[in-house]
Chains A and B, each alone.
Chain A
């Protein structure tokens, strides 16, 4: 039977990793991910998790060790944040191109400089194109549930891609919340044994990570892309199965009070929960406001997003990262691109805020609706506006 406990989100992740019965963990501690790996190393040291914990000297080594372990067919896990994710950067591409089903939690953190350990989405956005499945969670329960699902998704024979599970650093990672922790009996059979098709095995030798000259590189890239796109179906299937079993349902695009909304706010991560309060307050004032929480980031849920926005007049996209010298927030840039070909598309306004741990209050989300109306009504030619900044 599952139990309802009060615990820190990072510890709940360690519980999920223990329940998934991983074989190998290779990780390097970095704020705000530290509590996850500290707790996992305790579980291993105490004999509560029968896994190899590899203490590495950097995140580059952490991901490299994960490659080897996953290639040998072992269930492999790691976690990181911010600068650590960037130090892994080049190795992330190897994991996805070798189709290694590694699971990684990321406590989203701002990138230096100035040095900042607090939350935003700069680290995620810099790894956007690394070929991993990536999705966002908003609270301890979600990150617990969706870390468990990540193993099932990554290792599905129709998937075989690494999965990155995002949660906001501190806003989620260090918060103690009430959540339902599942027991091993609840999960029986939910995550089948890993059966990687070409593991490193002296009796059945294969070459992995080979070089691909111009004559074959394009074919390898297309094969990878064609394999990643349809993983969305498996992700949806796994979340559905989880929902049926445990009563908590997850979707690539989550909607809140959008049915008759004429203005929709789109967020990712924990700030979506804050925004929910703002939507309620706006509704009380008679504003037809709705909220979309974009959960699945890669593969991008084009159909779900277009369908959720098919009849809305105005769209506000809130980004927690900035593309310097570019079109503003990276999420909005993708949304604009996704909707450009739509027959009927909303007016889109982009706000960037919540950078490096800066809070965004429900009142500020309400102000975004007012400001968006001004920008749209006056046809202001603005790529994006930064909110919560001292001018």
Chain B
């Protein structure tokens, strides 16, 4: 997208509000919705991947060591990962802005 959505004027809207770059939903920063964020405790985490499977966004990624973390550009802070974690390794903490 040449211009970000907040930069576009009505003159920039393509006929019929058609989006000519398919898959551009990935640019949509759903992380803006978040007031709380998940934090992983590596001492408790067994790398089972349930958080990864259940994330509705899906924005949880695995690092080189096999631990998981949320991509905060997309994470909405819904807390499903913490709810599903069998080891209570994820806590949802209030974010400071």
| Docked CA distance A134–B29 (Å) | 40
* B39 interface residue (CB < 8 Å to A): no
Q: Closest CB-CB distance, B74 to chain A, in whole Å?
A: 15
A377 adjacent to chain B (CB < 8 Å)? no
Say whether A198 contacts B17, CB under 8 Å.
no
A206-B17 contact, Cβ under 8 Å, with A216-B8, A219-B8: no
**If A205-B22, A216-B5 touch, does A222 touch B16 (CB 8 Å cutoff)?**
no
Q: How many A-B residue pairs have CB under 8 A?
A: 54
Interface locus among A16-24, A49-57, A96-104, A121-129: A96-104
* A220 in complex: contacting residue of B13, B20, B22, B24, CB < 8 Å: B13
Which of A207-215, A258-266, A277-285 sits within the interface? Answer: A207-215
Contact with A along B23-62 (1 / 0, CB 8 A): 0100000000000000000000000000000000000000
Q: A178 contacts the other chain (Cβ, under 8 Å)?
A: no
B14: chain A residues within 8 A (beta carbon)? 198
Determine whether B95 belongs to the interface, using a CB cutoff of 8 Å to chain A: no
| Residue count of chain A within 8 Å CB distance of chain B | 24
Among A212, A213, A215, the residue within 8 A (CB) of B17 is A212
B19 on the interface (CB 8 Å rule)?
A: yes
| Chain A residues, Cβ within 8 Å of B15 | 99, 160, 197-198, 227
Q: Chain B: which residue is nearest A205 at the CB level?
A: B22
Which residues of chain B are within 8 angstroms of A224 by Cβ–Cβ distance?
A: 17
Q: Which residues of A contact B (CB under 8 A)?
A: 97-100, 160, 197-198, 205-208, 210, 212-213, 215-216, 218-220, 222-224, 226-227
